[in-house]
Amino acid sequence: MNNKLEKELEQLNIKRNKLSKFLSKQNKQTVSANQLKLLKEQKQAMSKYAKVLKLRIKDLKEAK
């Protein structure tokens, strides 16, 4: 289970990093203001999800 969560976290971090790079290159000419806002919300949700996964992994390691 732990390994599966670690792989999930790794994939999430890859996607989150790609989104961060994309957002750093965007401006209002390339993406609509609403899309930019939604992408930023998506990044925040991904960050929160990553934090929860890390806590779950830590909890499982401590439970052993």
42 contacts 20 by C-beta, under 8 angstroms: no
One-letter amino acid for residue 5 of the chain: L
User: Mean pLDDT, to the nearest integer, of 12-32?
Assistant: 89
Mean pLDDT over the full length of the chain: 92
Ranges of beta strands (E only) in the chain are none
Question: Letter for the amino acid at 23?
Answer: L
- pLDDT of 26 reads 78
pTM for this one? 0.87
Cβ(1)–Cβ(53) under 8 Å? Answer: no
Q: Show the tokens assigned to 57.
A: 């992994």
For residue 34, with 0-12 CB atoms within 10 Å meaning exposed, 13-18 middle and 19 or more buried, which class applies? exposed
